[in-house]
Amino acid sequence: MLSREENNMLTQTGKGTPMGELFRRFWLPALLSEEIPSADCPPVRVKLLGESLIAFRDSNGTPGLVDAYCPHRGAPLFFGRNEECGIRCVYHGWKFDVDGNCVDLPNSPEGETYKDKVRVKAYPCFDAAGMVFAYLGPQDPPPPPPGFDWMDLPDDRTYVRKYHLRCNYMQAMEGDYDPSHGAFLHMTRDRAMPGTIQDASPALGALFGDQRFMRMSFIFDETDFGMRQISLTPESGGTTMALVNNYFFPTFTSAGIAGPGVYCSNMRIPIDDESCYMYRFRWSYEPFTEHQRNQDRFGGFTYPEQIPGSFMAVENKDNDYNVDRLLQKNFSYTGIKSFPIQDLALVEDQWGPRADRSREHLVRTDESMIRVRQRMLKAARELQEGQEPAGPNNPKAFRTHSVRTSLPSDLTNAEIMERMKELSVGPTYGPGVHAV
Ligand code: FES
Ligand SMILES: [Fe+2]
């Protein structure tokens, strides 16, 4: 259980808040690259950590992320003209480049000199793996991008879609560190039940009566990237199943392995304190096969259908996620069809959109989630006291991924940790750490 004060610290990410400042030390996905698909395309509105911004792509194809409002008299730059390497406010014609410089101030005789004194707030950006990453923090020049394996992969090995969630980022993320929920929320009577995740990906979800999580134990290791977590489950042949499920600052999870050679990462990025985007990301060291495309990308189970023109799932809070009570009586625990929508239905309303964790009653199987909270609060407090997190300037620390393997059951925790660390480093692609 957290105190009210700790809960506020964990869930508030506006500018100047302790967690908001921690978030601003890291590169974050601000939008999908395809939202600004080409040079000089229309600008789009972006709300990120409570800040109202405009994203555009200049004539060179460089992404830009600037204040939503013009510094002259506060007109919305959303209506701006994106032309000749800059966004031009249509109220009086002031123009800004992706770095925030005023490059034209045409409505006044002193414009030629005064423009050098005017700037619009602008955040550095780059494209990687289908996303535009932005840095909202104080370091100038910004820190190098995190060295995730997937940052440099070719397009045929990554896939991402984003979803609009109507809840605080933290309750959306905590589900990835909640080992017992899968054996309830995601449970069906029959793996072959049509229209369920078990039907599409038998390795996922659980059957009624599956109690593996009760025998699970954990090893935790605090790192510069966040926290390495290894879950250990005894297996019937005298071995132990070990699974690495990392937490990466500030809010990236390595959500296990979706299938042979396909890794998952979920990123919950605050829009404000009561809503977030979830970037649902899959990657592989090999090009995706047609089979993987069908199951993991377009099957509707891991990527639920969205309302056209929005990032909102078709099955959402407004229609009670299309819960089917007959299905619930006879086949599935929830009566909600797809895996992510099952999660969505529960996390969007935990005492409301921003849960008050001082009201919780936690148990032993909540340990993994508790550790993540503690890691985040510790880093936020350290930053408040002037100690910068080490991760942003140690990008190589992020070059590690999920692993699942069987190990002899007589290994010590230190030996398990060493073995899993070695297995968590994969082949690298491209120039190494992505260059801005
Ligand atoms: S308000 Fe933008 S140019 Fe005047
Ligand atoms: Fe879940």
93 assigned to some structural domain? yes
Cα–Cα distance measured from residue 264 to residue 176, given in angstroms and rounded to the nearest whole number: 11
Whether 110 and 258 share a structural domain: no
Domain count for the chain, please give it: 2
The domain boundary, picked from 68, 101, 135, lies at: 135
Nearest residue to 56 (alpha-carbon basis) of 64, 48, 46: 64
Mutate to test the pocket of ligand 1, among 66, 73, 88 (most ligand atoms within 8 A of CB): 73
| Closest residue CA from atom 4 of ligand 1 | 92
Ligand nearest to the CA of 347: 2
Cα–Cα distance measured from residue 409 to residue 164, given in angstroms and rounded to the nearest whole number: 42
How close is the Cα of 110 to the center of ligand 1, in Å? 15
Q: What is the pLDDT of residues 289-306, one digit of tens each?
A: 877 776 666 555 678 889
How close is the Cα of 226 to the center of ligand 2, in Å? 21
What are the strands, taking DSSP E only, across 85-215?
A: 87-88, 95-96, 102-104, 122-123, 125-128, 131-135, 158-165, 187-188, 206-207
Instruction: Tell me the pTM.
Output: 0.93
Instruction: Give the atom of ligand 1 at the shortest distance from the alpha carbon of 77.
Output: 2
432 assigned to some structural domain? no
User: Do the Cβ atoms of 80 and 98 come closer than 8 Å?
Assistant: no
User: Do the Cβ atoms of 280 and 161 come closer than 8 Å?
Assistant: yes
Whether 163 and 293 share a structural domain: yes
Q: Is the bond preceding residue 109 a cis peptide, omega within 30 degrees?
A: no
The domain boundary, picked from 85, 112, 135, lies at: 135
Ligand 1 contacts CB of residue 91 (under 6 A) = yes
Q: What does the pLDDT read at residue 300?
A: 59
Whether 339 and 240 share a structural domain: yes
The neighbour count for residue 176, using CB atoms within 10 Å, is 22
Cα–Cα distance measured from residue 31 to residue 285, given in angstroms and rounded to the nearest whole number: 24
253 assigned to some structural domain? yes
Ligand nearest to the CA of 73: 1
Cα–Cα distance measured from residue 347 to residue 167, given in angstroms and rounded to the nearest whole number: 7
Q: Which residues surround ligand 2, an ion (CB under 5 A)?
A: 175, 343
How close is the Cα of 67 to the center of ligand 1, in Å? 13
Helix (H, G, I), strand (E, B) or coil at 281: strand
Ligand nearest to the CA of 177: 2
Whether 164 and 121 share a structural domain: no
Over the range 344-382, which residues count as b (16 or more CB within 10 Å of their CB) and which as e? Answer: bbbbbebeebbbebeeeeeeeebbbbbbbbebbbebbee
297 assigned to some structural domain? yes
How close is the Cα of 63 to the center of ligand 1, in Å? 22
- Greatest extent of the chain over all pairs of C-alpha atoms, in Å: 83
Whether 80 and 114 share a structural domain: yes
Whether 153 and 101 share a structural domain: no
pLDDT at 360 over 50: yes
1 assigned to some structural domain? no
Q: What does the pLDDT read at residue 179?
A: 87
Whether 188 and 247 share a structural domain: yes
Whether 267 and 333 share a structural domain: yes
| Closest residue CA from atom 3 of ligand 1 | 92
Joined together, the tokens standing for residue 154 give 């070719």
Q: What does the pLDDT read at residue 194?
A: 52
How close is the Cα of 402 to the center of ligand 2, in Å? 17
Helix (H, G, I), strand (E, B) or coil at 374: helix
Higher-pLDDT residue of 367 and 301 is 367
For the domain that residue 260 is a member of, what is the CATH number?
Answer: 3.90.380
Whether 402 and 306 share a structural domain: yes
The domain boundary, picked from 97, 113, 135, lies at: 135
Q: What does the pLDDT read at residue 296?
A: 60
Whether 218 and 89 share a structural domain: no
For the domain that residue 101 is a member of, what is the CATH number?
Answer: 2.102.10.10
Helix (H, G, I), strand (E, B) or coil at 80: coil
User: Do the Cβ atoms of 397 and 224 come closer than 8 Å?
Assistant: yes
Domain hosting residue 105, numbered range: 26-135
User: Do the Cβ atoms of 121 and 64 come closer than 8 Å?
Assistant: no
Burial class (CB in 10 A: 0-12, 13-18, 19+), 234: middle
Cα–Cα distance measured from residue 203 to residue 186, given in angstroms and rounded to the nearest whole number: 12
276 assigned to some structural domain? yes
13 assigned to some structural domain? no
Q: What does the pLDDT read at residue 209?
A: 63
Mean pLDDT, all residues of the chain: 90
pLDDT at 25 over 90: yes
Cα–Cα distance measured from residue 393 to residue 25, given in angstroms and rounded to the nearest whole number: 10
